[in-house]
Amino acid sequence: MKRFLCVATFGSMLAVSAMADSMNGFISDSMCGAKHTGAEAKDSKCAMACVKQHGADPVFVMDGKVYKIAADSKDKVMPLVGEKVTVDGSMNGDTVTVTDIKKM
């Protein structure tokens, strides 16, 4: 029985870690979304202004698709609005939960 529990626990830990993923993209704003890719300086300025001055939500843009940021991840994302980033986390439908985020 102990062997079964040990194997089951180890298998569960592998399944949880397999759900985490590393994704590259841009932290944009919900007003402009995929219009910003971070390719130009104006993308960063607009995203920052929309989030900080106009109340837009930060979003993650990857491969032309816009993903919401999970509510519990927004504090991690806010300092990098307008930046190209690498996000470690998980995707659930159209929402990204951020474990770690770094500027590219």
The reported pTM is 0.78
Q: What is the structure's pLDDT at 2?
A: 53
| Alpha helices (runs of H) in the chain, residue ranges in sequence order | 2-19, 41-52, 74-77
Contact (Cβ atoms closer than 8 angstroms) between residue 69 and residue 77: yes
Has residue 101 got a pLDDT over 80?
A: yes
Quote the percentage of the chain above a pLDDT of 70.
Answer: 81
> What are the sequence ranges of the domains in the chain?
20-103
Q: What is the structure's pLDDT at 39?
A: 83
Residues contacting 23, CB < 8 A, separation 6+: 60, 62, 86, 87, 88, 89, 91, 96
Fold classification of 20-103 (topology level): OB fold (Dihydrolipoamide Acetyltransferase, E2P) (2.40.50)
Residue 48 to residues 29, 72, 77, Cα–Cα distance (Å): 8, 20, 12
For 11-46, write each residue's pLDDT tens digit: 444 444 435 689 999 999 999 999 988 888 899 999
Q: How far apart are CA 41 and CA 91, in angstroms?
A: 28
